[in-house]
Structure 1
């Protein structure tokens, strides 16, 4: 994992824009929320 982190180019992230990070945050939030709901339903 650290080898991937050391070889990343920050300029490529800047060219993609911030919307990609917002999308990733929303998806990860929804996955976490869904897992919490499933935990409370089945336990």
Structure 2
């Protein structure tokens, strides 16, 4: 994996490398109607 040098790259890698973080962010940002349509229980990271 390439070395992360940009502070933004580091932030996004840390933020989105944990499913719980991603799920929490989506629950905060997306409107309730959209959340009802999504199946966040199936959310998983790609290998």
- TM (norm. structure 2) is 0.30
TM-score normalised according to structure 1 size: 0.31
Larger helix share, 1 or 2: 1
